[in-house]
Amino acid sequence: MLRMTVATLLFMALLGMSTAGGVLSKIAPGKSAGTCASTDTVGKVTDSFTKTYGEEPKFIFAAPGRVNLIGEHTDYNDGFVMPCAIDYHMVCAISPSDDDTITAVAADFDCQPNKFSLSDPIVKAENKEDFWSNYVRGVCKVLKEDRGLPLRGAKIVIGGDVPQGAGLSSSAALEVSVGTALNAVMKLGLGPKEVALTGQSAEHWVGCNCGIMDQLISACGEAGHSLLIDCRDLSTYSVKIPKGTSIVIVNSNFKHHLAGLDSEYNQRRSQCEEAAQHFGVSHLRDVSIQDLLKEEKALDPQTFRRARHVVTENDRTEAARKALEKGDLVKMGKLMAESHVSMKDDFEITVPPIDGLVSIIGKVIGDEGGVRMTGGGFGGSVVCLCKDDKVEAVKKAVEEQYPALSGGLKATIIVTTAVQGAGTHTPGLKKTAQVG
C-alpha cells in the first residue's frame, strides 16, 4: 500500500471530498443553463472570492476532470489514449490586480491567502499547509519563466467537485482551470493544447512526471464524445459515445498518492524508458509486439512485462476507437477486460478492492459493455460502459457486495456524461464558451 502523506490529506481537504460511499449523478440536477460547472460549485467559489477580496470576481473559469475509457500509462510512452471529460469541475474565479502579486485562496480549505511575487523567482511553498498552492505556482512559473509570457498580478480563488484520489484528474483540472483563466485574462494567446502542455509542465514541477492525457482532455474535451488522442503529435479524433450508453465511474475510496519522485507512478515510467532504450527508440510507441517478443529473454522479466502492457494497450486503444464508433459494446467490453488484466498482471497497478469491483460489475453487465480500472492505479476508480438499463443493477450489486471484499469500504458511484473542455463563465451573462 502506498503511504498517504500529510500533504495529500491537505489536498483532499482542499477539494472538499469525503470517503463516504454513495451515488452521485450530475446528468441533469444542479446545472444552470449555459454554465459548465455546477451552480453549487460556482456559487461556493464566488462567495469565497467576495468574502476574501470584498468584490465579485471579474471572470469565472471551469475545467473538467476526466475518465479514461482505455489506454492506461500509454500517454508518456507517446502512445494512444481514449478519455472523455466528465461533469465534475475545478473552478477558478479571477480578477486582475494592479501589482505583480498573485494571491490565491482555496475555497474548500480553511487557509489564509497564499501570495507570491512575479518579480521574484517562483519557488514551491515548503510548508504543508500551502502545498495546494504549488499547482497555481507551477502554472505561473511555466507561463512566465519557461514560456516568457507577460503575466501580471491577479486575485484568484479555486474550488471544485472533482473527487480527489479517485483517478479522475483533479490536479490536472486545477492546472487547466488556472491556466485557462490566466491565458484569457492576460491575453496570452495560447490555444487549448498549449494550456494543456502548460499544466503538464506544472505537474512535473510539483513532482509527478505525468503524461499529457489528463490536461489535454480537460482543455479540449467534446460534449457527448470521447477523444482518441495521439500523445506524440497531440492530434485528436472524436469518438461518439453510443446512444443509450451510460458512463458509470465507481470510486473504490481506496486512496492513492502520485505526487513525489519516489512514487510507484514515476517508477513505472522509468521502467518504460529503460525498455525503450533497449530497443534504441525514444518511446515504446515505436516497438511492435513482434519486436518485443523477440527480445523477451534479453530483458529483465519485470521490464518485459511493463513493456508488454504498453505495447498491447496501444493496440487495444486503437481497436476500441473502431468498436465504439460502430456501437459495438461487446467488442469494447472484451478490450476493456483485456486492458484490466494487463494492468493487473503486467503493469501491476491494481489493488484487490479495484479487482473486486471489476468482478462485481462484470457479472452484472455481461457482454453488454465493459469495465476496467481507470487512472494511474493503486486505488482510485473503475469505469464502466453499459446500457442505460443496466445502471441500477450495477449500483445495487456494488452497494451490496463491495463492502465485504474491501474491508468495510463503501464505493461512491458516479453516473456522468462526456462534457465540453475548459471554458469561461462571466457572472450575470450565463454564457459559456470554450477558450482558445
pLDDT tens sequence across 153-192: 999 999 999 877 677 888 999 999 999 999 999 999 999 9
Question: CA angle, corner 389, sides to 37 and 334, nearest 5?
Answer: 90
Average of per-residue pLDDT values in the chain: 88
The DSSP line for 180-221 is HHHHHHTT----HHHHHHHHHHHHHHHT----SHHHHHHHH-
Q: What is the pLDDT of residue 93?
A: 96
133 contacts 15 by C-beta, under 8 angstroms: no
Q: What is the pLDDT of residue 22?
A: 59
- Report the C-alpha gap between 400 and 389 in whole angstroms: 19
Closest of 424, 433, 420, 12 to residue 223, by C-alpha: 420
Is residue 332 within a helix (H) or strand (E), and if so which, with residue range? helix 329-345
pLDDT confidence tier of residue 427, bands split at 50, 70 and 90 = very low
398 contacts 357 by C-beta, under 8 angstroms: yes
419 contacts 64 by C-beta, under 8 angstroms: yes
- Please list the residues that pair with 59 across neighbouring strands: 94
Q: What is the pLDDT of residue 38?
A: 73
Q: What is the pLDDT of residue 423?
A: 84
Residue 18, pLDDT > 80, answer no
pLDDT confidence tier of residue 19, bands split at 50, 70 and 90 = very low
- Report the C-alpha gap between 427 and 286 in whole angstroms: 48
Q: What is the pLDDT of residue 262?
A: 45
396 contacts 267 by C-beta, under 8 angstroms: no
- Please list the residues that pair with 7 across neighbouring strands: none
370 contacts 246 by C-beta, under 8 angstroms: no
Half-sphere exposure in the Cβ direction for 246 (13 Å, CA): 22
Amino acid code (one letter) for 97 = S
Work out the percent of the chain whose per-residue pLDDT is above 70.
86
Q: What is the pLDDT of residue 255?
A: 73
Q: What is the pLDDT of residue 112?
A: 83
Order across the sheet with 154-160: list the strands: 114-117, 101-106, 154-160, 83-96, 59-68, 423-425, 432-434
Residue 196, pLDDT > 90, answer yes
- Report the C-alpha gap between 311 and 15 in whole angstroms: 35
Work out the percent of the chain whose per-residue pLDDT is above 90.
77
231 contacts 211 by C-beta, under 8 angstroms: yes
Residue 243, pLDDT > 90, answer yes
Average pLDDT over residues 347-357: 96
- The catalytic residue positions are 214
Distances (CA, A) of 192 to 220, 264, 316, 403, 420: 6, 30, 27, 41, 12
Summary count for the chain: helices (H), strands (E): 12, 15
How do strand 412-416 and strand 22-25 relate by DSSP bridges?
parallel
Q: What is the pLDDT of residue 291?
A: 97
pLDDT confidence tier of residue 227, bands split at 50, 70 and 90 = very high
Q: What is the pLDDT of residue 13?
A: 38
pLDDT tens sequence across 24-49: 444 333 333 333 577 788 999 999 99
pLDDT tens sequence across 131-154: 999 999 999 999 999 999 999 999
- Report the C-alpha gap between 379 and 254 in whole angstroms: 5
Q: What is the pLDDT of residue 257?
A: 54
pLDDT tens sequence across 262-288: 478 888 999 999 999 999 999 999 999
- Report the C-alpha gap between 384 and 391 in whole angstroms: 9
How do strand 154-160 and strand 101-106 relate by DSSP bridges?
parallel
Average pLDDT over residues 319-337: 97
Report the SS3 class of residue 409.
coil
Mean pLDDT is lowest, of 64-73, 95-104, 192-201, 207-216, for 207-216
- Report the C-alpha gap between 156 and 93 in whole angstroms: 6
- Please list the residues that pair with 383 across neighbouring strands: 249, 372
The pTM of the full predicted model, rounded to 2 decimals, is: 0.86
Report the SS3 class of residue 351.
coil
